[in-house]
Structure 1
């Protein structure tokens, strides 16, 4: 029961994050480059916030870290809603969106650390899979909510609704959440000095996945779901409209990844962390190759994503196996600091992907979706090569035998 309660803060936060991601890229002032910069400010500052949040959750406690994050985040979201109403300043929007990302790191890191505290080695893969399911699923719900609100209020009012809901939801979990911080005092050590060595070899792949998420977050600004649509897909687009279909497409992909995280998290407990990780690694590479081939052959984005769904499911093995491995090897005194790496790499990857998407959209007008898909494959292949080099040096590949 306490493990399930530890998921509640990230559930509430990620609904707001998902809706914000859709609406910010729609409402951001300026052109493609400016929109990419505004969107990228959130994850880049989230990465910086994670460095502080992980340390603070070890020293001050998980619950206090969560509450501070929620209060400041709610105020920043209300301020960004105001900025959308009265200003057309990409700089101001980027600053406020960055503050939202910075404080979201406090929620994400503390919630993940709580979940790690409440699991043991024998069930940690399942626990981390549950975290990934809630993290991805609630983000998808928020993304769909944002697309629906944009249909009703195609302006700043849509973001104001999300900001108000986020502010009002803070007390709902705070009353029932219990502290899980270990009694042992944490000494003054920083994130990268306490990272398990094996985790370092896995980080390039995690960075690749989060970069792809950043690329995907930009798509509402340029995605034309009617392009290449036929038959039943065309009928759905005609009935629901393009924005809502994009939201459904996004939540469908995240729901698939979330369900896979639970399945593969449990498999990681039974079969081994590294074996499950490499299963996901091969699945991700295959999915991106299939996606690029489908788009090159003229399929629409909806059909192309549907075609790659089985391989996308395999990709969901990567997240819980990495989190379980890091949680197993982390010193309990520095667990918050270590689990902060999740948000650090998440923020850097999504930020880089968002910025890269803006550059690609600006440079390849008319071929944006193909450009984003090709960039995703290129980043994934490059990071996989770096991972293999690190894994050979650390002897990880020999552990698979």
Structure 2
């Protein structure tokens, strides 16, 4: 990759870096500040990803017909206004319905940022380096989300209320003009009579996306965990000492950023592997790693280990799971029609939004049934979703095996 191209690719990551820091902080704070009980909090939290899925359909189309940069900037402006209004709603405790509506608007407009940024990154890579380019996107996406989550937990520890959300809303709004100045358009607009998602989605994506949906549902379950996670009840004296020094909310933030950073670093590593070894083989490696990670996590929790010990034990297998994201994105990016690449890459946000939304609602439902065993219930649900979606993937792969082809041979010529 030429130096100028590498610089442009790096700049294309900046919007998602800023957006995901705000999203991560918002995810922690919304679940803490939402009005009502566990079920209401799950609905408020789920509004964001569900509307993000809807927004991705619009954003992909706009990225192709209006331009990547315009779509991205519009998303940021409206998102910033909605975040400021949600901060006001938390201060006034108006109703969970208003909170859910505003959080949904934030999710809808975040899809504009995510889809346009991902499409820019895809435009600026070639088949021979697209795996590592998508791995870089995944790293920024996950790691900055984790940083935001940690910032959100720190702000909540500091302010103990809506002032924490207002702070992150103001910071996000002020950052908008800074990155917008340096962005460039990466592709000419497509014909106005272009195609929509289902008509441009590569056939191989149909086979691979059930597993991506499973991962995003698990992320949704994890995002709800701070509502019920009781780190202070750890049996380990080391864990109790750490909680005593940092506070429970900050510990949850540290756990989340640790997990997402591990996945982000793995995305770069496995993105490069996908360029050299093959997209499909790298994907399958991650598929096995994800199943093993969830099995170990459930066994550890069932044996009485606390969240700190269980997550630490699962970490090596969690690293393998990070092979899934960049290999899927690279494969879809390879096969996408360049004229409608924004529409095609919108599938990333569609699946991301639907999965996290369902995971959030599922987390709220499970936690409302049993507070005492909520964490174990979330872990069991995560394993169940993963097994079901993996089974669907295998069945689809057997049925449509001619459609699941690797594009890496192009990169090695």
The answer for the alignment partner of 1:372 in structure 2 is: 378
Q: Distance in 2 between matches of 1:11 and 1:366?
A: 36
RMSD: 1.2
The CA deviation string for residues 49-99 of structure 1, in whole angstroms up to 9 with x for no partner, is 000000000000000000000000000000000011113400000000000
Question: Which runs of no fewer than 5 residues in structure 2 stay unpaired?
Answer: 1-6, 407-413
From the superposition, tell whether residues 367 and 396 of structure 1 become closer, same or farther in structure 2 (CA, over 3 Å): farther
Q: Which stretch of the first structure deviates more once superposed, 287-296 or 173-182?
A: 173-182
Match of residue 83, structure 2, among 77, 80, 90: 77
Q: Which residue of structure 2 lines up, in the alignment, with residue 29 of structure 1?
A: 35
The equivalent residue for 1:60 is: 66
2:118 paired with 1:151: no
Of the three residues 192, 199, 202, the one matched with 1:193 is 199
Match of 1:10 among 10, 13, 16: 16
Alignment of 1:188-337 (within 5 A): 188-337=194-343
Shift of 1:396: 5.8
Q: Give the TM-score normalised by the residue count of structure 1.
A: 0.98
Distance across 1 between alignment mates of 2:76 and 2:405: 42
Distance 1:348 1:129 in 2: 22
CA distance in 1, matches of 2:72, 2:106: 13
Matches of 1:229 and 1:172 in 2, distance apart?
47
**Residue 186 of structure 1: how far off its partner (Å):** 5.7
Q: 1:117, 1:180 within 8 Å by CA — same for their partners in 2?
A: yes
SS in 1 for 2:128: coil
Task: Tell me, yes or no, if structure 1 residue 169 matches structure 2 residue 147.
Answer: no
Distance 1:214 1:139, change over 3 A: same
For residues 299 and 207 of structure 2, the distance between their equivalents in structure 1, rounded to whole angstroms, comes to 29
**Superposition deviation, residue 172 in structure 1:** 1.0
SS at match of 2:35: coil
Using the TM superposition, give the Cα deviation of residue 226 of structure 1 relative to its aligned residue in structure 2, in angstroms: 2.1
Q: Which stretch of structure 1 is more off in the superposition, 279-288 or 389-398? A: 389-398
Alignment CA distance shift 1:288-1:33 (3 Å): same
For 1:397 and 1:332, the matched residues in 2 are separated by: 19
1 CA distance for matches of 2:41 and 2:117? 30
1:3-30: per-residue Cα shift (whole Å, max 9, x none)?
0000000000000000000000000000
Asked if 1:349 corresponds to 2:355, the answer is yes
1:392 is matched with which residue? Answer: 398
**Contact map agreement 2:270 2:282 (CA 8 A) in 1:** yes
Q: Out of 106, 130, 133, which is 1:100 matched to?
A: 106
In the TM superposition, what is the alpha-carbon distance from 1:397 to its structure 2 partner? 9.7
Cα distance, 1:363 vs. partner?
1.1
In 2, distance between residues paired with 1:71 and 1:151?
A: 28
Q: Please report how far the alpha carbon of residue 399 of structure 1 lies from its aligned counterpart in structure 2 after TM superposition.
A: 5.8
Give the match for residue 142 of structure 2. Answer: 136
Contact 2:264 2:322 in 1 (8 A): yes
Aligned length: 400
Matched, 1:382 2:388: yes
- By how many angstroms is 1:395 displaced? 1.1
CA distance in 2, matches of 1:182, 1:291: 47
The answer to whether the 8 A contact 2:67-2:189 is kept is no
For structure 1, which runs of at least 5 residues remain unmatched after alignment? none
- Partner SS, residue 181 of structure 1: coil
Secondary structure of the corresponding residue to residue 226 of structure 1: helix
Q: Is the 8 A contact 1:133 1:258 kept in 2?
A: yes
Aligned-partner Cα distance in 2 for 1:191–1:184: 14
SS in 2 for 1:308: helix
Name the CA distance, whole Å, in 2 between partners of 1:342 and 1:29: 30
